[in-house]
Structure 1
């Protein structure tokens, strides 16, 4: 075998045209403006301070009971309505549900004293009341995603409003475990790491700091460039990559008072799991949840571990309750459209078909 043939066998010849196209795509993606996010058809039905409640009508209404979506306070919520073919909201409206979606907004400095109590008992409570009035429905289904699921569970345990079904996706309930490095987590739990001073200095945690925190904690912020380079020939993937890239870099700010509660009551003291959390002076007891209850996790979640979600299934009093694990990741659950499929499979027989 000639030396030239040996080299060729060891190092396959490159498809020059394909490689040029690949790197042209990568260059274009990195230099062009961020994509516009086109929301599913919607109208504003209520506003409070920076928060907005959107109504997304079903394309062909099939169910009497509407859905109320609750997303995390830590990120902007349009990941659940990021564009046709990838939208959780769009997937649900296509399946015949009216959807109400609460966008918490980004607090300004004047909102530094807004607490989790305020968000849950004032903003969310009033938003659900407005959705019930607008829909004319006697009951509502609530879906909470990530920390939005934690908020939804707390709310459902406290409210007297008629929640028919509660769905929690990739929800943190046990904060004694997680993606945070063990030394950091132990530091938080022992009070060695404390965010009170940060909250007090800034009043409202800037979006740049929130982005930096998430970038440092999860590989979801490290690996996308490799994925883009390897799949630059796939136009549909590049489209979703651009949407995802915009969302990850478009962080929300966070009220200092709520930030302190989040890290002290949940991450440090794990009060929700222990039954010691108080909201509005009332103890949060997840046993108060008796509605139909569905929780699902994903097998490759790099943000919320299954161990953080699993305890909740035994903490609620619901007789009709289901727990499942699906193949996928934390964010791909939304971007692939699977979220709406999983939710619909469970909700469809519990939503009073017209």
Structure 2
């Protein structure tokens, strides 16, 4: 009589599997996680915008940091959890940090332009930060479109910007992530969103959320990873925070959106030296402060070729280019951004 071999699955595997499906159920049915910010205070408000101050845990650096996130998303990705907070980790490393929250415009804000955002909002906020910090100089750190606006400001302002950091920043719009036919149609004028913008006046958050997903090719990778790693509580927490932030989109002023599409995406005026804000020519060669440009190897939204040209366009003698192993959002979600900029800033943050 042949022997019968019996196989018994390890109990730990069953426990892991039970935990995985239990966690997956919870993710799909529980309320979105609460995002608690690092210790902060509001130091200035304008319309829907807020300037936040995050004091260093133990101040070690003279020059404060002023962070500018994109107009297209809410900035709390920079302070998404206690462990991975970009701002929190900079505070731990001894920096006072200011962060400008653009807010989400209402219908009454439909006429706000990029000119207004750069000169009436951002420039004023930096002036307030300098006064609040009692500092003679500041480090301006711009991310994505926030970096584009920071570069514009640095080229036309008399503010004492000691260091400029541009991360995942679109500067050259001759090449960007869209199907080639769409890019060609936008450049030759056969594709225009002007009428849609005029109809909506303020771009709905749902439109920007869908556009964000489309530019990533409706990436299902994170959802697949959730199924396979749902037993990993640490991963699940990170996934839930990312999912909340992605869906928590902002609205966008119609005037600024139209200007961005036509002046940047269509006509590429920033690189050509044809961009003006309130009659002031935006000339990137006017930038002479220390410059750090950071791009990511897996950036699914901003191509490296969009960021690199700024290295040649500025007049800075002290300029550094850094390529990091990360994605467009993951560099902030994981807190890696803080550790990418800190070594460079630490040697340039004394008066």
Same fold (TM over 0.5): yes
Show the 5 A alignment for 1:186-201.
Answer: 186-201=184-199
Name stretches of at least 5 consecutive residues in structure 1 with no aligned partner: 9-13
Offset of residue 137 of structure 1: 0.2
Equivalent residues in 2 for 1:195-344, closer than 5 Å: 195-219=193-217, 221-344=219-342
Equivalent pairs counted in the alignment come to 346
Q: Distance in 2 between matches of 1:48 and 1:158?
A: 21
Q: Which of 18, 25, 28 pairs up with 2:26?
A: 28
Task: Check the 8 A contact 2:291/2:320 in 1, yes or no.
Answer: yes
* 146, 149, 164: which one aligns with 2:147: 149
SS at match of 1:19: helix
For residue 108 of structure 1, what is the aligned residue in structure 2? Answer: 106
Cα drift, residue 19 of structure 1: 2.4
Q: Deviations over 1:93-149 (max 9, x none)?
A: 111010010000000000000000000000001100100000000000000001110
Partners of 1:283 and 1:58 lie apart in 2 by: 36
- CA deviations 1:297-330 (Å, max 9, x no partner) are 0111111111111110000000000001111111
**CA apart distance, 1:219:** 4.1
Q: Is the 8 A contact 1:221 1:248 kept in 2?
A: no
Q: What CA distance in whole angstroms lies between the structure 2 residues aligned with 1:58 and 1:23?
A: 41
Q: CA deviation digits over 1:251-276, x for unaligned, max 9?
A: 00000000000100000011111111
2-structure distance, mates of 1:38, 1:73: 21
Q: Is the 8 A contact 1:215 1:222 kept in 2?
A: no
Which digits, 9 at most, give the CA deviation of each residue in 1:148-200, with x for residues without a partner?
Answer: 10010000001001000000011111111122111111111111111111111
Secondary structure at the counterpart of residue 328 of structure 1 = strand
Residue 57 of structure 1 corresponds to 55
* Deviation digits for residues 186-231 of structure 1 (CA, Å, limit 9, x no counterpart): 1111111111111111110011111111111114753221111122
Q: Which sits farther off after the overlay, 152-161 or 18-27?
A: 18-27
Is the aligned partner of 1:118 residue 2:116?
yes
Return the alpha-carbon distance in structure 2 between the equivalents of residues 175 and 281 of structure 1. 22
The answer on whether the counterparts of 1:174 and 1:270 sit within 8 Å (CA) in structure 2 is yes
Contact 2:17 2:231 in 1 (8 A): no
Report the counterpart of residue 11 of structure 1 in structure 2. none
Backbone CA RMSD of aligned residues: 1.9
TM-score by length of structure 2 reads: 0.95
Distance of 1:127 and 1:181 partners within structure 2: 37
Partners of 1:223 and 1:203 in 2: CA distance = 34
2:83 counterpart residue number: 85
